[in-house]
A and B are shown apart, each in its own frame.
Chain A
Amino acid sequence: MYKQFLIKRMIPVLVFIVTVLFLNQKPYAQDLTKTIINIDLKNATLDEALATIQRITPFKFNFKTADIAQVNGIWYKKQRVPVSNILTDLLANTSLQYEQVGNYILVTTIKKPLIHRVTIINQESSRNNIEEATTGCALLQSVTVASVTTKKSIRKVTTGHHRLSINSIKNMAMAGGEPDVLKSLQLLPGIQTSAEGTTNLSVRGGSYDQNLMLLDEAAVYNPTHTLGFFSAFNTDALKDVSIYKGIFPAQYGGRLSSVVDIRMKEGNSVAQKVTGGIGLLASRLTWEGPVKKERSSFLLSGRYSNIGLLLNLSHISNLIKISSKDSKVAFYDLNARFTTQLGNKDRLSISAYLGHDKFFMHLIDKTNLMKWGNITFSTQWNHAFNNRLFVNTSLHYSRYNYSNASFRESRDFTWHGHIQEMTAKTYFDWMINSNNHLQAGVGIAVQDVLPGKVVPNNDSAASKKVSLNNRRSARLFVYVSNEQKISSRIHISYGIRATGFAALGDAVVYRYNEGMSAPIDSTYYPKGKIVQSYFAAEPRITSSMLLGNNTSVKISYGRNYQFQHLLTNSSVGLPTDMWISADSYFKPQYANQFATGVYKTFRNDLYEASIEGYYRKSYNIIDFKDNADVFMNAHMETQVLTGEGKGYGIELLAKKNKGQSTGWISYTWSKSFRRINGINNNEWYPPTYDHRHNLSLVYNRPVTKRLHIAASWVYRSGGRTTIPVGTYIYNGVRFFYYGKRNGYTLPANHRLDISLTWHEKFKKKRKWQGEWNISVYNAYNRKNIFALYISEIVANDAKAYQVYLTGILPTITYNFTF
């Protein structure tokens, strides 16, 4: 009954979106040769030049940042000339060409430029080598390879890799008009969220703590604001994001499921620029510019949100039916980056991130005020020995603080925890010859985790100061990988990463009785002494074979280790979750993954499609015992059970890359299981984030010169939860008893988000550019299940309730730049 209803409601939406996406729309393209403009470029990059043209014409440019990054230092002034002439001039002496498709102008590389070929305008060659070295190093191995060709997905050696530029993220329809890096990744195949509306990722059946979130290579341990409704990253300060699902290049390690590599934008090295946006949910401001023209630049970006103020407005709190008007929901984040050239062969960049949240909402937790925040700091130094050999040395610091202040009179204290990590590493990038590209690196990371500390809020409180022992550890890693061209059709990339891990003192290690219920003995390890060590070897191999010009087949295998576990109390990611590094009891978790796929492009790269399948098995994963008590528990190991997990799935992606309308359809069919000794009679059972079907449609299109529409529709079959099998009365109150963990399948979610962007009319004399964005989240007002709980609000009459985040949610944002 319900399913039929669901299908009925889905079909029209699906048909609509598919039709719109793939209908050949009638172009209303304007003629490049007949559009006459005035242009004055002073020492501009090609990126800026194209942006200038885009601003004053109806044309939109489409290019790969990496392709045009080499062209800069343009001085060009013309009055009343056609756009076509300007483009011809600008692209002369470069390896680039342009092509008009509707109102889009595609700027692509001519044929196949070699990756090392340097294109220069007003630049010395050695400096461009460095530019390129940094691009090559800063981006990823596969991305570098990808930039060689226009047939991107089919030629890449890696499987399960996606990259989104910030522009494409900004063009997606998002809740509150707030572009979100992590939520946009959820629209890709194989990537899901465990709860609607939140940023956490479950990649190929992994849990959300198995994702390595890197911001300029520094790990971010809680990448969320507002309990996961926003990601911690301000898109105005970012350049792009890459995700590797399961099988990573050897330079990455430390997590099982994915690497999300987020890169901060470099400041504009030519002119000062301010951009910003004022929105209902969040406002942001970015200032960038040169410190020394063309040699060094800075970028400062901030974002602030105070949703609590909105929630406390009386008509809103009435609408939400929360009985209190005392919500405190606010966050800010700051990004800063400084980049400079040191001589002709060196380049230095320093970036920092600071984010902070406070959260109290009666509806979610009426007794605790949560605060959390991340700080990261990265210094990267690139050096080019010559145009084939580069070295990149970097230092990263990352700290995640979290606290929880209890309001209860009888628990009047604040709980604190933190995780702190410092990493130093260096790696070499050596293009040995046209067939071999070698990368090798070495690094060390030290980590300090405070699993919990309680501080009384006042002197007379009925609690004392208690702190659990810090857990310290160190990792030493080394890796080498080579990407080899075996023939013109066969590429192979192979590498190995080796990690030595040591849990360090001071620490007390307990020995327990047979049932792990009580300690019988303990050993003290003084500071610096090795408590437990592990060695991990992670081989990774991927190969691709071209079949014809438009099709390729790939196969890959990778093994990953993770030396940390997240003791999580929730399916969402909360500041009460605790990170625990491996020790004598918590063994490092590891996974083997196999993936294979077929990739195809159609009509000269206009469309691309891929199908990928994967199988993964993970070991030493953990889950809680029933009624586990982890609060300030020095014997955490007694509350946890270990076991193994497995998952498999098929991922389909069909994408339209160019033209008036762009977008994609992604579909994932997947299964995920775990088997933990002591849970569900040691049988395989699904985790909460096991969603069988996942369908996303992403659509983008300019309607008129100034109006742009974006829409996305997602369908996700229900996750799993645990529900009672019966109830009973104890002391006059009805309580529940439960059957199998995660034994109940929740109903499916689906949702349509729409966003309309309206650019203000361009005025020649005005530098101020503004745009209005109206976004409608959950456009057909579906009450998707966020959580299910059972409660006895009226005595003796317990009922099940579903929490849904929001009905239809329209918001307005004003974005500007000057």
Chain B
Amino acid sequence: MHTRCYSLTGIMLLLLTAGCTKEFNIELDKTQPLFVIEGRISNLTGPYYVRITKSTNSLGLGGGPYNDSAEAVTGALVTISDDSGITDTLIPANSYNRYRYFYFYKNGKVDSIKERLPPYYSDKYRGDRGYYETTKITGRPGHTYHLLVRTGNEEFHASAYMPNAPEIDSAALKEATINAKGDKGLLPFVWFKEPQNEKNYYLLMYNPITDYPYDNSFNRFIPSGVYPFYVVDDALLPPYINGMAVQMMVNGHDPYSNNYPYIIYNDPVQVRLSSLTKEAYNFFKALGRQLEDDGNAYRPAPSSPPGNISGNALGLFWATQISHKLILR
């Protein structure tokens, strides 16, 4: 072999403009809007809410994070009945002149104050936004609930069974790695026993302390990009969950949502562990998937979340036992 060595000077010339995204004009097929029904009943304090809206053919209506752009369906008959014979006819929740207790943590004590509900509504959106609230029914684990919605000539049904949720042993805030970069942040963690002999599905989320005994799933508008329903199936869970991070779902394509949401404020936090049926798990899983991926070449073909409302309506009615813990600080 010719052994003379020649030093190779580095060759570094780069005008790389790789991998970008740009907006793409897309026209959706003009199809009939569908009814959308979202409803939940739990073992927490009511009222429980059902919301009826309509879908749209447009991708978005604009207006920013706190703009509720859904077309509300008002004047519907909504009932929830349970398997013990109770039927509750829901009333429209134009709730700006209703009062409720708001909780806080001060001087080592959890306290509450009575306030008008809800403080998040701007003046513009007060009024009937398609919410209906229960008046008397209470959710109990192990029971099945039936939802009926009648609007115009259309009638929709859904049933939901409330599975049991394990007790949370403890919950704490812990410094944790919050992204691939290795950044640290505070995340709530939970400890609980996982029954290994049955198939379970869970939803984990955290709330500010303000409404901790209430079910209250619909009175807040959540800025998009973050979706508070993180679901797990027990296939990979050990018998004892020795500290599991509670995370938010983040919109996967948002180039600015680099970090997972983590707790930066000093508020106390309530951690909720909700039990799910397989049906509800599949629905939330599919919703979560839409935030992670939407027809990207690296993902499966996107598909509609499999709801449980009969009569060609979108959405889900579900029942859940929620076990919860406060992390006070």
Contact of B68 among A360, A569, A729, A810 (CB under 8 A): A729
CB-based contact B303/A323 at 8 Å: no
CB-based contact B298/A727 at 8 Å: no
Contact of A722 among B56, B68, B254, B301 (CB under 8 A): B301
Query: Which residues of B in the span 52-68 have a Cβ within 8 Å of any Cβ on A?
Result: 53-68
Q: Mark B194-226, 1 if CB is under 8 A from A, else 0.
A: 000000000010000000000001101111110
What is the bound-complex CA distance between A735 and B224, given in angstroms?
A: 10
Query: Which residues of B in the span 223-269 have a Cβ within 8 Å of any Cβ on A?
Result: 223-225, 227-230, 232, 235-238, 241-247, 251-256, 258, 260
A677: interface (CB < 8 Å): no
Q: Which of B22-30, B83-91, B140-148, B162-170 contacts A (4 or more CB under 8 A)?
A: B22-30
Q: Within the complex, what minimum Cβ distance (angstroms) separates A3 from chain B?
A: 14
CB-based contact B287/A812 at 8 Å: no
A138: interface (CB < 8 Å): no
Q: Within the complex, what minimum Cβ distance (angstroms) separates A699 from chain B?
A: 24
CB-based contact B296/A790 at 8 Å: no
Provide the residues of chain B in CB contact with A316, threshold 8 Å. Answer: 14, 16, 18
CB-based contact B293/A789 at 8 Å: yes
A728: interface (CB < 8 Å): yes
Beyond A280-B14, A466-B235, whether A797 also contacts B38 by CB under 8 A is no
CB-based contact A725/B57 at 8 Å: yes
CB-based contact B236/A454 at 8 Å: yes
Contact of A803 among B16, B21, B290, B301 (CB under 8 A): B21
B181: interface (CB < 8 Å): yes
Provide the residues of chain B in CB contact with A739, threshold 8 Å. Answer: 29, 31
A736: interface (CB < 8 Å): yes
CB-based contact A790/B19 at 8 Å: no
Q: Which of B2-10, B101-109, B151-159, B321-329 contacts A (4 or more CB under 8 A)?
A: B2-10
Q: Which of B74-82, B110-118, B172-180 contacts A (4 or more CB under 8 A)?
A: B172-180
Q: Is the interface of B mostly helix, strand, loop or mixed?
A: loop
CB-based contact B24/A802 at 8 Å: yes
What is the bound-complex CA distance between A794 and B224, given in angstroms?
A: 7
What is the bound-complex CA distance between A799 and B28, given in angstroms?
A: 11
B294: interface (CB < 8 Å): yes
CB-based contact A795/B67 at 8 Å: yes
CB-based contact B6/A768 at 8 Å: yes
Provide the residues of chain A in CB contact with B12, threshold 8 Å. Answer: 280
A738: interface (CB < 8 Å): yes
A80: interface (CB < 8 Å): no
CB-based contact A324/B300 at 8 Å: no
Contact of B314 among A733, A737, A806 (CB under 8 A): A737
CB-based contact A803/B297 at 8 Å: yes
A31: interface (CB < 8 Å): no
CB-based contact A725/B2 at 8 Å: no
Provide the residues of chain B in CB contact with A289, threshold 8 Å. Answer: 1
Chain A, residue nearest B10 (CB):
A278
Chain A, residue nearest B305 (CB):
A735
B70: interface (CB < 8 Å): yes
Q: Within the complex, what minimum Cβ distance (angstroms) separates B203 from chain A?
A: 12
CB-based contact B221/A791 at 8 Å: no
CB-based contact B236/A799 at 8 Å: no
CB-based contact B237/A407 at 8 Å: no
Beyond A195-B297, A570-B300, A804-B20, whether A466 also contacts B236 by CB under 8 A is yes
A463: interface (CB < 8 Å): yes
Q: Within the complex, what minimum Cβ distance (angstroms) separates B5 from chain A?
A: 9
B127: interface (CB < 8 Å): no
A413: interface (CB < 8 Å): yes
CB-based contact A310/B14 at 8 Å: yes
Give the contact-size bracket for chain A: 35 or more
A742: interface (CB < 8 Å): yes
Beyond A320-B18, A807-B17, whether A796 also contacts B61 by CB under 8 A is yes
Provide the residues of chain B in CB contact with A744, threshold 8 Å. Answer: 26
Beyond A362-B258, A410-B232, A729-B70, whether A311 also contacts B31 by CB under 8 A is no
Chain B, residue nearest A802 (CB):
B24
Provide the residues of chain A in CB contact with B220, threshold 8 Å. Answer: 732
CB-based contact A793/B253 at 8 Å: yes
CB-based contact A626/B180 at 8 Å: no
What is the bound-complex CA distance between A798 and B1, given in angstroms?
A: 63
What is the bound-complex CA distance between A320 and B20, given in angstroms?
A: 6
Provide the residues of chain B in CB contact with A813, threshold 8 Å. Answer: 11
CB-based contact B252/A366 at 8 Å: yes
Q: Within the complex, what minimum Cβ distance (angstroms) separates B89 from chain A?
A: 24
Provide the residues of chain A in CB contact with B302, threshold 8 Å. Answer: 722, 724, 736, 738
Chain A, residue nearest B72 (CB):
A729
CB-based contact B297/A572 at 8 Å: yes
CB-based contact B253/A789 at 8 Å: yes
Give the contact-size bracket for chain B: 35 or more
Provide the residues of chain A in CB contact with B256, threshold 8 Å. Answer: 323, 793
Number of A-B contacts (CB under 8 A): 341
Q: Which of A243-251, A422-430, A661-669, A780-788 contacts B (4 or more CB under 8 A)?
A: A780-788
Beyond A463-B236, A729-B53, A797-B61, whether A721 also contacts B29 by CB under 8 A is no
CB-based contact A792/B224 at 8 Å: yes
A319: interface (CB < 8 Å): yes
What is the bound-complex CA distance between A800 and B27, given in angstroms?
A: 10
What is the bound-complex CA distance between A757 and B201, given in angstroms?
A: 60
A701: interface (CB < 8 Å): no
A658: interface (CB < 8 Å): no
Beyond A409-B187, A796-B63, whether A624 also contacts B301 by CB under 8 A is yes
What is the bound-complex CA distance between A742 and B300, given in angstroms?
A: 11
Contact of B63 among A227, A737, A797 (CB under 8 A): A797
CB-based contact B225/A410 at 8 Å: no
B282: interface (CB < 8 Å): yes
What is the bound-complex CA distance between A171 and B69, given in angstroms?
A: 57
Contact of B18 among A272, A362, A805 (CB under 8 A): A805
Contact of A409 among B11, B177, B224, B294 (CB under 8 A): B177
Q: Within the complex, what minimum Cβ distance (angstroms) separates A410 from chain B?
A: 4
> Which of B182, B297, B301, B316 has the most C-beta atoms of chain A within 10 angstroms of its own C-beta?
B297
Provide the residues of chain B in CB contact with A726, threshold 8 Å. Answer: 28, 31, 33-34, 55-57
Provide the residues of chain A in CB contact with B1, threshold 8 Å. Answer: 271-274, 289
Q: Mark A617-628, 1 if CB is under 8 A from B, else 0.
A: 000000010111
> Which of B2, B68, B243, B287 has the most C-beta atoms of chain A within 10 angstroms of its own C-beta?
B2
Provide the residues of chain B in CB contact with A320, threshold 8 Å. Answer: 16-20
Chain B, residue nearest A722 (CB):
B301
Q: Mark A736-751, 1 if CB is under 8 A from B, else 0.
A: 1111011010000000
> Which of B242, B246, B301 has the most C-beta atoms of chain A within 10 angstroms of its own C-beta?
B301
CB-based contact B16/A460 at 8 Å: no
B46: interface (CB < 8 Å): no
A295: interface (CB < 8 Å): no
CB-based contact A767/B2 at 8 Å: yes
Provide the residues of chain B in CB contact with A367, threshold 8 Å. Answer: 180
Q: Within the complex, what minimum Cβ distance (angstroms) separates B179 from chain A?
A: 7
Considering the complex of A and B, which 5 residue pairs feature the smallest CB-CB distances, nearest first? A795-B224, A626-B303, A462-B244, A797-B60, A409-B245
Other than A726-B33, A737-B305, give 17 A-B pairs with Cβ distance below 8 A. Answer: A367-B180, A410-B244, A410-B246, A463-B236, A570-B297, A571-B297, A629-B285, A732-B68, A733-B227, A736-B304, A794-B224, A796-B63, A797-B59, A797-B61, A806-B16, A806-B17, A808-B15
- List 16 contacting pairs A-B, 8 Å CB cutoff, sorted by A: A272-B1, A462-B242, A734-B224, A738-B302, A789-B296, A794-B224, A796-B63, A802-B22, A802-B24, A803-B20, A803-B21, A808-B17, A809-B17, A809-B18, A812-B13, A818-B4
